Amino acid sequence: MTSSRESTAYLTVSCKDRPGIVAAVSGFLFSKDANIIHSDQHSSDPVGGRFFLRMKFHLSGIESNLDKFKQEFSEKVADKFDMDWSLNPAWIRKKTAILVSKFDHALMDLLWRAKRDELFTEITMVISNHPDLREAVESFGVTFHHVPVEKDKKEESEKKIIELLKGNADLVILARYMQILTPKLIDAYPGKIINIHHSFLPAFVGADPYRRAGERGVKLIGATAHYVTEELDQGPIIEQDVIRVSHRHDIEELKILGRDIERQVLSRAVKWHLSERVLIDGNKTVVFI
C-alpha cells in the first residue's frame, strides 16, 4: 500500500468455482501486458463452492484506457464465468463519510490516519446527531454536519443524511453512531457501511456490552467491525480483536481499555475495505491480508 499507485488497479472477482478461472484471468492480464503485483484467491469449496480472487496489477497507461479495459474483460472473461467483479483504480481516492454520536475515539483515529494518508481516502464529511464534536472534526479541515435525530422523526433525519451522502460516499463508517439505521439507508449502501461494535460478537449483541461483559466476569473484552445489514449486529464480520482484562477492572476501566481495541479494529477494517481486500461471501467475509 506504500508503493506507487500510478497505473495500478485492483481486480476483485467472485463466482462459482470451476477449473480455468485463474488461467483465464491471468491469461487476459498477460495478453494486455499487465504485471500482477499481488494475487490472492480462495475457494469456499473446490467442489460446488464459490471462488474469490483479488489481484493487484500494474498496466502502463491504464489511466486513459480504463473503460475499454473493463469492457474487454467483461466480454472475454467475466461473462464466461458469470463473475461478480469490480476493477478499482488504485490511484483514485474513494470518498468516505463518517457517522458518529458523542464518543470521539474511533472517529479521531480515522481522521488522524486519513491525515497521515494511511487510509488513502478522502473524508468528505462527518455527520453527527450531536453537535459536540464539531470543533474536533473541523480542526482536521473536514466538514461537520449536525443532523439531530428526534424521537418519532427518525425518517426525516435519515432523509437528510441520505441527501448529504449522495455522490459523496463510496463508504459510510459508523464510528460509534448510536442510532439504528433504517433499511432505506442500509439498502442504499450494500456492503458499503462498516460499523464498529464494542464487543466480541456474537457475545453481547445489542446495547451496553461492557457492562454485561463486566457482570459476566469475562477475562477478555473485544470489538468487532462488520458490514451493516438489516439484522442488528448480524452482518458479515470483517475484523475482531480482544484485550485481556481481570477482576481489577471496573466497568469504567473496561470502557477505557475497550476504546483502544475499538479504534484499532475499526481502522484495520476500513483500511482493508479501502484497498479492496474484503470480499463478501453471504454472511461472512473473505479478507485477503
Stretch that binds a copy of itself, among 29-37, 81-89, 146-154, 173-181 (CB under 8 A): 29-37
- Binding to a copy of itself by residue 78, rule CB under 8 A? no
Q: Does 237 bind a copy of itself (CB under 8 A)?
A: yes
Tell me whether strands 193-197 and 171-174 are parallel, antiparallel or unpaired.
parallel
Residue closer to a copy of itself (CB basis): 161 or 210: 210
Applying CB under 8 A, among 30, 60, 156, 207 the residue interacting with a copy of itself is 30
Q: What angle do CA 101, 107, 112 make, to 5 degrees?
A: 160
Q: Quote the CA–CA distance of 33 and 227 in Å, as a whole number.
A: 36
# chain residues binding a copy of itself, by CB under 8 A: 68
Q: Which is nearer to a copy of itself, 50 or 70 (CB)?
A: 50
Q: Which of 109, 117, 233, 241 is catalytic?
A: 233
Cβ atoms of 88 and 70 within 8 Å: the answer is no
User: Any catalytic annotation for residue 233?
Assistant: yes
Residue 240 CB coordination number (10 Å): 18
Considering the complex, what minimum distance in angstroms separates the CB of residue 266 from a copy of itself?
13
229 contacts a copy of itself (rule: CB under 8 A): no
> By rule CB under 8 A, what string of x and - marks binding of each residue 250-289 to a copy of itself?
x-xx--x---x---x----------------x-xxxxx-x
Q: Shortest CA distance to 8 belongs to which of 50, 69, 49?
A: 69
Contact between 172 and 192 under an 8 Å Cβ cutoff? The reply is yes
Q: Which of 125, 127, 165, 201 binds a copy of itself (CB under 8 A)?
A: 201
Residue 198, φ and ψ in degrees, nearest 5? -90, 45
Q: What DSSP string runs through 200-223?
A: -TTTT-SS-HHHHHHHHT-SEEEE
Build a one-symbol-per-residue string for 56-75: x at contacts with a copy of itself by CB under 8 A, - elsewhere: --x-----------------
Phi-psi region of 271 (alpha: psi -120 to 50; beta: other; left: phi over 0): alpha
Helix axes 251-274, 209-216, angle to 10 degrees: 120
Binding part of the chain for a copy of itself, among 39-47, 60-68, 126-134, 169-177 by CB under 8 A, reads 39-47
* C-alpha–C-alpha distance, residues 252 and 240, integer Å: 21
Distance in angstroms (rounded) separating the CA atoms of residues 186 and 179: 13
Cell, residue 38: 499481488
Q: Which is nearer to a copy of itself, 74 or 234 (by Cβ)?
A: 234
Choose, by CB under 8 A, the member of 112, 134, 185, 188 that binds a copy of itself.
Answer: 112
Out of 92, 185, 188, 203, point to the residue binding a copy of itself (CB under 8 A). Answer: 203
Contact residues for a copy of itself (CB under 8 A)?
1-3, 18-20, 22-23, 26-27, 29-30, 33-44, 46, 52, 58, 105, 108, 112, 116, 118, 139, 200-204, 215-220, 222, 236-242, 246-248, 250, 252-253, 256, 260, 264, 281, 283-287, 289
Catalytic residues: 233
